[in-house]
Structure 1
């Protein structure tokens, strides 16, 4: 009895088709969203969208963006993805119709979910994308992509040195991310640290503050390597960690309370600068010494000339006096 009433109700609604759907100026059906119309679409076996998927997407430059479109009662119809700004058909079904290899079409196994995937998102990818079903007239659902320029930052120098047996403490922050990250992963080289079997690893992620802290206890030389922080909505950042046994071979550097390691290049620059300073000082001292020698020579010459002139005048005066005495006699 209930099924007969439901069928009669559906037929009544079909006759008044203006209540089922509205057609926009481009002859594209705007799909109904209320549960009554969805029920009727299901009865009539017409394709319709499941509006439970996220349609406002935010992705960081260089990351992956995915649009999920769920279509019920698809039947023999096809699903296409269209870029709104230039009406370019990107995909039909799982076939790609663009030379840009970053765009991929996927259908999740045994589901009614169609995915448009954009790898290595760029700012030019921002805009509206449509999931379109090949009904007559066509129905479509719009998705908005926002591309944010954000880079994670590990709060440390690019190269870190730790003594064997000490603890590594690293903090990664994605402060310029457009929203809270859904995850922040840590990698050592190409290995996901979250799934490491090493033990002694602690990862504390605070999504509200967009930061994650990695602590590794009792490090060994085998813990040396490239450590990378990858938030879901930001580009990654990396530091290289050296774990050494002999503390006299290099300075030990920790994030909060350790001695700052001076790179070899800085030591070389400082040494070169120091040597140049020493050479300059030696040159200055040599110049001063030369000037002093010239001054002494000049003073000696002046003194000798004065002594010679004085003696000459004295002799002349003595000779003159002797002559005067002889004349007087």
Structure 2
């Protein structure tokens, strides 16, 4: 029994070697090694050949990098807290065999952000419906939730009637509808996804049949016929004076 050679370690192909993480969140690189025995697992960053961890010990001065291992499992995970775009690159999971075994992992850190469709300011007439659509881009996974706020007030569970929030995690979109808006519904509306930067739009509900800007334009149109009549009268008088002079 004791004369049997040690079993050779091997990498399990059950984890992805291409990982997309969100900026500001925790990224995980999962390396699984079978028959590790008394060998050590080392994580290095290929760029600059920086040693990050050996076993469960962290060798880098960047405390965001730690090794995670649960006893009795084959998992040796590199954890990167508050991942940044600069952390993108190739990492290697190495086993201290002779020669060394290594498995590369490609990490891409992206910045996820929300965007509310349409202009950043909306001017609407009292009694209209507020219809806002928010879309999350750059997220490596669907958001667990998307909340809507008016100022600091959560709209999703507001006691105000006539509110509808429809969120589709697969398409990473959320639609907010408020029916029969009043001036009390004016404010700054913010879309807040669970895993992305928020986005806001300002909504102004105006009293009266039309916004002031539109009233000004229509008011100018009302007086247009009168000004046209005055111009025609002036032209006619000028023509009469011209003929009289001849």
Tell me the TM-score normalized by structure 2: 0.58
Asked if 1:113 corresponds to 2:75, the answer is: yes
Q: Would you say the 8 A contact 2:114–2:136 is kept in 1?
A: yes
- Aligned pairs for 1:34-73 (under 5 A) are 45-73=7-35
Residue 327 of structure 1: aligned partner: none
Higher helix proportion, which one? Answer: 1
Report the counterpart of residue 186 of structure 1 in structure 2.
146
In structure 1, the residue matched to 2:133 is: 170
- Measured in 1, the distance between the counterparts of 2:29 and 2:120 equals 36
SS in 2 for 1:152: strand
- Say which structure is richer in strand: 2
The Cα of 1:110 is off from its aligned counterpart by 5.1
Looking at structure 2, the residues matched to 146 and 131 of structure 1 have their Cα atoms a distance apart, in angstroms, of 17
Distance 1:109 1:76, change over 3 A: closer
**Are the counterparts in 2 of residues 227 and 241 from structure 1 also a CA contact under 8 Å?**
no
- Alignment partner of 1:237 out of 190, 198, 222: 198
Provide the C-alpha distance between the structure 2 equivalents of 1:96 and 1:170, rounded to a whole number of angstroms. 44
- Superposed CA deviations along residues 100-151 of structure 1, whole A, max 9, x for unmatched, are 1222222257532121122333333232111112233321111122344554
Q: 1:60 to 1:181 in 2, by over 3 A?
A: closer
1:101 aligns with 2:60: no
State whether structure 2 residue 178 is matched by structure 1 residue 214.
Answer: no
Cα 1:237–1:157 shift into 2, 3 Å: farther
Work out which of the residue numbers 100, 113, 134 in structure 1 matches 2:96.
134
1:156-167 alignment, distance < 5 Å: none
Unaligned runs of 5+ in 1: 1-10, 15-43, 243-249, 253-258, 263-329
Cα distance in structure 1, aligned partners of 2:117 and 2:12:
43
Pairwise CA RMSD of aligned residues? 4.4
Whether contact under 8 Å (1:188, 1:225) holds in the other structure is: yes
Contact 2:69 2:76 in 1 (8 A): yes
Shift of 1:230: 4.6
Query: Could you tell me how far apart the structure 1 residues matched to 2:39 and 2:62 are?
Result: 25
5+ residue gaps, structure 2, are 214-246
Contact kept, 8 Å, 1:152 with 1:230, in 2: the verdict is no
Give the alignment's TM-score, normalised by structure 1: 0.46
Q: Distance in 2 between matches of 1:85 and 1:230?
A: 32
Q: Is 1:85 paired with 2:55?
A: no
1:79 and 1:226 mapped to 2: Cα distance? 45
Counterpart contact for 1:79–1:93, Cα < 8 Å: yes
Q: How big is the shift at 1:228?
A: 0.8
SS in 2 for 1:251: strand
User: Aligned in 2, Cα 1:131/1:212: closer, same or farther, shift over 3 Å?
Assistant: same
Deviation digits for residues 142-179 of structure 1 (CA, Å, limit 9, x no counterpart): 11223445543222566889989x666432141xx3xx
Which structure is higher in RCO with an 8 Å CA cutoff and minimum separation 6? Answer: 2
The alpha-carbon distance between structure 1 residues 152 and 226, as it changes in their structure 2 partners (threshold 3 A), is closer
Q: Tell me, in whole angstroms, the C-alpha distance in 2 between the residues paired with 1:113 and 1:139.
A: 16
Shift of 1:212: 1.0
